[in-house]
Amino acid sequence: MLKSFTIIAVAAVGIGVGTNYYLQRVPDMPKLDLNRWWGDGDKPNQEDETIRPFKIIFNDTIIDDLKMRLRNRRPYTRPLEGMQSEYGMNTIYLEKLLKYWQDEYRFKERADLLNRFPHYKTRVQGLDIHYIRVKPEAKGKRVLPMLLMHGWPSSSKEFDKIIPMLTTPRDEYDFIFEVIAVDLPGFGFSEGTNKPGLNPVQIGIIMRNLMKRLGFNKFYIQAGDWGSQAATHMCTVFPDEILGFHTNMPLSSRPISNVKYILGSLFSSLIVESKHRHRMYPLKDLLTYLVRESGYFHLQATKPDTIGAAIADTPAGMAAYIFEKIGICTNRKQLHTQHGGLGNIDLDDLLDTATILWANERITTSVRLYAEAFAWSEVFIVQDIPTKVPTAAINFLHEVVYQPDWILRDKFINLVHSTTLDFGGHFAAMQTPKELVDDIFMSTVEFLKFHARNK
């Protein structure tokens, strides 16, 4: 009996040690081609590295075609009695949005508003990449380069409220930002690829090469959603080139972090602050939310071209599809309203996003990112390697997933600043721009202190 118990105990200890080793081990960095060609055909002997000014134009052909399609759509099935947004996009509210888009949205004025910033394009690894670059006028202050990276279904337009805030001097800070707000490949006005494999790691390489093209060997990053994932990989692959990373979607995807999240439910009262506990536990609430809201994710991660083909020809269908997800990620507690969370974001901002997506035919190239992110082993390897880059996290209330600092540090070992707010959502630059920018400035102070200590 004693012998059997001893064998079981030794086996249990062995399993525990082995499991801990597996979870804590750090894989080797995969070999990455930093100049991989994503353009049509084979890589030419001489690449075009020119930087060209660019202007956003919604011409009459695009506008007339869009309005015709909106006008000629079929009427929608009304919501079920007593239902608002519980079954998805409320078609009564959608009718209001589409009518405004068709009759009142000022296409050319909105383009002019976006063009108040200098826009450019340049070819990086074969793809035409669009970006905004704004240099501040700030005598006597240090100018720090900051790359802004968006997610789906956005573009650099998502940052048009925070760009002036980041480039306007503040008396209490001795620095200011030069902003480069980019459209990810296959999003906005940036070209997509016809080659498989353009995952978040590869996008991070393109973004790093863009910044080097612009003369920045070291820079800061602010990002959310897929931009945050690509930025996280940049921090891991190029740790000596990123001076600081600020994210409004902080996420550690290391296996140890997932185990901690699950095991933490057994001891939540001991390890999670009471005021934030509801953001993580009980796990059944999180799982219910993820099952209810992740259908689009599964579709885009497995059959992106199907949904792309389904809505590429219908602006009304495309709007319904993307607006429903924007709404739920802005405020998940508002399914009982007609707007389903969309009422928290300015209507023109929503329609800017839809118009850019429609005018550039980017729905299929943008949703493919979900599939690419799960199809390549290099993504899973890189995300399991901790980064030394000083990192700052801001957690808005309705972000998709909340991880406390003790989990985030699995990936971001130098988490130097952390903020948790009881409001806001996923599209922070559009919904809560002031709070986002205030936190960027405060975080940058910590980044500078970190580097001063580690010279």
Q: Is residue 23 part of a domain?
A: no
Q: Is residue 317 part of a domain?
A: yes
Euclidean distance between CA atoms 187 and 362, whole angstroms = 6
pLDDT, residue 427, reads 98
Instruction: Give the model confidence (pLDDT) of 42-90 as tens digits.
Output: 999 998 999 999 999 999 999 999 999 999 999 999 999 999 999 999 9
Euclidean distance between CA atoms 451 and 455, whole angstroms = 6
Give the CATH number of the domain where residue 236 resides: 3.40.50.1820
pLDDT, residue 222, reads 98
Structural domain boundaries, residue 340:
54-453
Q: Is residue 160 part of a domain?
A: yes
Kindly report the number of other CB atoms within 10 A of residue 402's CB atom.
20
| 3-state DSSP assignment of residue 131 | strand
What secondary structure, in 3-state letters, does 66-112 show? Answer: HHHHHHCCCCCCCCCCCCCCCCCCCHHHHHHHHHHHHHCCCHHHHHH
Euclidean distance between CA atoms 403 and 272, whole angstroms = 10
| 3-state DSSP assignment of residue 55 | coil
Q: Is residue 8 part of a domain?
A: no
pLDDT, residue 139, reads 86
Question: Higher pLDDT residue, 13 or 279?
Answer: 279
Nearest 5 degrees, angle CA 166-CA 167-CA 169? 95
8 Å CB contact between 70 and 94: no
- Work out the average pLDDT over 140-162: 97
Q: Is residue 7 part of a domain?
A: no
Q: Is residue 113 part of a domain?
A: yes
Enter the pTM of the model. Answer: 0.94
Q: Which residues are part of the catalytic machinery?
A: 225, 370, 426
Q: Is residue 157 part of a domain?
A: yes
Peptide bond into 315 cis (omega under 30): no
Question: Higher pLDDT residue, 421 or 278?
Answer: 421
Q: Is residue 39 part of a domain?
A: no
Structural domain count of the chain: 1
* Residue 24 pLDDT exceeds 80: no
